[in-house]
Amino acid sequence: MAAEETIRAEATAIWDVRGVAATLLWDQQTALPAGAGEQRARQIAWAERALHERYRSDALGRMLEALPGEGDAASLARVLRHERERALRVPSELREELSEAAGLAQQAWVRARASSCFADFLPFLRRNVELRRRYADCFPELDDPYDALLDDYDPHARTREVALVLEDLKRRLVPLAGAVRGRTPEEPLRGPFAVERQRAFVAELLPAVGLDAARLRIVESPHPLTISMGVEDVGVTTRYDEANLDGVFLALHELGHALYEQGFEPAIADTPLAQGASASMHEAQARLFENLLGRSRPFWRFALPRLEAAFPEALAHVGLDDLEAVVNSVRNSPIRLQADELTYCLHTVLRFELERALLDGTLSPADLPETWAAKCAAYLGLEVDDDAAGVLQDVHWAFGAFGYFPTYALGNVIAVQLWEAVRRDVPGLDEEIADGRFDSLLEWLRERIWRHGRRLPADDLLRQAIGVDVDVEPYAAYLEAKFGAREVAAR
């Protein structure tokens, strides 16, 4: 076999192991019997160790030495080399421990969150933090231990640069959010919105926008997520509350992730190139569909009649103007997943600062709720009522996903850059969307972003797509224009 074919076969084998781990993970997140937590955590840890060892194998090392450097083969070599270099640093035992501890912590998190008791979760958090610190220690050459965690999500990203972006966002958004806080929010829509009808609405909406239903599953889980078990099998979850329609927006967020996962070109499917260029680029797709499309007037011209058909009583007197106002209302919530666009990034800044402090040891896990509350007051002007609405609200620190939070903020920034570019390139976009025609939007994103997967590093991909680097300015200007340029100008 030629070197390219050999490496391609190995890449597919690696990607199949990842698919097995992802399938177990999907099952863990969506369908696990209460008593099976430990067993499944062990099984996932085993699969992740197998993946880790495949990356570490001498055979892969020899193949990569022989691999020529052009086209997809070169991209594949770049991605495999990076994964391999990192895998070689981390002992397999530690890899397995990280995974198993995360699985157990997640089970504990579900219980602790249900009873709003941080103390029940604390030992698991301590263990996760300790293991992440050991993980970061495997990369002593990095300037900042947080770099090691960030790289798992945004390859080659550096904490120093990410921190500058987040500082910039904080500097601009804290005063803006403060100025807007005094306003009376829009009256929310009055339910009840029966869960089974929301479920049916979402099941029709997602394929109507462009997901391939034949390669899709949609179910419910405590934490909304998208897991690709392979390009032919993408799983999306959301959660519903009879009192509101938040679940629809959570589903629109996952829609963006799922479109990306379904959008990789067949030429790179079943290889490690079939993944988002970075977690930030992935979040950008999600936030674009959730907010920039999903809260736009043209979108609701298309979707409102369908929503009215699902909830004729609740929406009897709700017009397009009302709906647009409600879904764009400022809603300063202590819960990140319910936050409005304006305050959302501040939630991620808060978590980024806390997880950096946990990692470098300046914050003890036991002191997390207190520090959380202080930052929540300073950035959002909010008091935290209980642990479930505070430090226990997100799954990430249970799941072991330290380093992920900044990608939400970067995703917001990139989403606005992409949205402005697509609007420039497709002049009739609003009319098309209002008619339920999403082809131009999807084609633009597929052509420039989705189909390439990880062929290019994320920064290069963005530059190739829209000609510029990540830039906070369009996003900050968008929020200032939308939520109160007047107050800021008067400052």
Q: Tell me which residues are annotated as active site.
A: 254
If binding is defined by CB under 5 A, does position 286 make contact with Zn ion? yes
**Residue 293 to residue 62: CA distance in whole angstroms:** 47
Q: Give min distance, CB of 399 to Zn ion, in A.
A: 13
Q: Give min distance, CB of 65 to Zn ion, in A.
A: 37
**Residue 424 to residue 286: CA distance in whole angstroms:** 20
If binding is defined by CB under 5 A, does position 414 make contact with Zn ion? no
Per DSSP bridges, beta strands 234-238 and 226-228 are antiparallel
Number of residues that bind Zn ion (CB under 5 A): 1
- Name the helix (H) or strand (E) containing 235: strand 234-238
Cβ nearer to Zn ion, comparing 17 with 410: 410
Secondary-structure percent of the chain, ordered helix, strand, coil, rounded to 5: 70, 5, 30
Task: Determine the interface stretch with Zn ion among 79-87, 150-158, 283-291, 298-306 (rule: CB under 5 A).
Answer: 283-291
Q: Give min distance, CB of 470 to Zn ion, in A.
A: 17
If binding is defined by CB under 5 A, does position 258 make contact with Zn ion? no
Cβ nearer to Zn ion, comparing 405 with 483: 405
Binding-site string for Zn ion from residue 457 to residue 476, where x marks contact by CB under 5 A and - marks none: --------------------
Task: Determine the interface stretch with Zn ion among 127-135, 146-154, 279-287, 374-382 (rule: CB under 5 A).
Answer: 279-287
Strands (E), 164-232: 216-220, 226-228
Give residue 323's identity as a one-letter amino acid code.
L
What angle, rounded to 10 degrees, do the helices at 472-483 and 341-360 form? 130
**Residue 261 to residue 233: CA distance in whole angstroms:** 9
Q: Give min distance, CB of 354 to Zn ion, in A.
A: 19
The residue behind tokens 């160790």 is 49
Give residue 191's identity as a one-letter amino acid code.
G
Residue 302, token pair as written in the block: 């298309």
Give residue 250's identity as a one-letter amino acid code.
L
Whether the ω angle into residue 192 lies within 30 degrees of 0, i.e. cis, is yes
Cβ nearer to Zn ion, comparing 261 with 270: 261
Cα 409–Cα 285–Cα 258 angle in degrees, nearest 5: 125
Q: Give min distance, CB of 292 to Zn ion, in A.
A: 14
Cβ nearer to Zn ion, comparing 100 with 261: 261
**Which of positions 117-136 make contact with Zn ion (CB under 5 A)?**
none
Q: Give min distance, CB of 287 to Zn ion, in A.
A: 8
Task: Determine the interface stretch with Zn ion among 43-51, 285-293, 437-445, 447-455 (rule: CB under 5 A).
Answer: 285-293
Measured from each CB, the residue nearest to Zn ion is 286
CB contact at 8 A, 285 and 445: yes
Task: Determine the interface stretch with Zn ion among 162-170, 286-294, 306-314, 341-349 (rule: CB under 5 A).
Answer: 286-294
Residues that bind Zn ion (CB under 5 A): 286
